[in-house]
Amino acid sequence: MLLALGAGLAGLAGLFACGSEFETGAGGNGATTTSHTGNTGGTGNTGNAGNTGGSGGTVNPGGSGGAGGANTGGMGPCDPFLNPPDQASCPAACTGGCSPDNSHCLIDCSADSSCQMTVPCPAGLSCEIRCSGLNACHQAIFVCPPTYRCDVLCTGPSSCNFAELTCSTGPCTMTGGNDANPMCSGSHMDCGPQRCRAICSGGPAYLPDQVCGNSCLCDHECNCPSTCASP
Give the distance from CA 96 to its chain's centroid: 37
In the chain, count H helices and then E strands.
3, 11
pLDDT at 186: 84
Do residues 105 and 121 make contact, with C-beta atoms less than 8 angstroms apart?
Answer: yes
Q: Residue 185: CA atoms inside 13 Å, Cβ hemisphere, count?
A: 13
pLDDT at 77: 75
Supply the Cα-derived Rg of the chain in whole angstroms: 47
pTM listed for this prediction: 0.63
Q: Pairing relation of β-strands 188-190 and 118-120? A: unpaired
pLDDT at 73: 29
| H or E element that contains 73 | helix 60-73
Burial 211-231 (b: 16+ CB within 10 A, else e): eeeebbebebebebeeeeeee
35, 39, 40, 45: CA torsion to nearest 10: 160
Name 230's Cβ contacts closer than 8 Å, sequence gap at least 6.
Answer: 204, 220, 222, 224
Q: Where are the domains of the chain?
A: 104-222
Q: What tens-digit pLDDT sequence spans the chain (231 residues)? A: 333 334 443 443 333 333 333 233 333 333 333 333 333 334 434 434 334 434 444 434 333 333 333 322 223 478 888 899 999 999 999 999 999 999 999 999 999 999 999 999 999 999 999 999 999 999 999 999 999 999 999 988 889 989 999 999 999 999 886 555 667 778 899 999 999 998 876 666 677 888 999 999 998 887 654 443 433
| Positive or negative torsion for Cα 186, 158, 206, 198 | positive
Phi, psi of 132 (to 5 degrees): -110, -10
pLDDT at 165: 95
**Total residues found in the chain within this entry:** 231
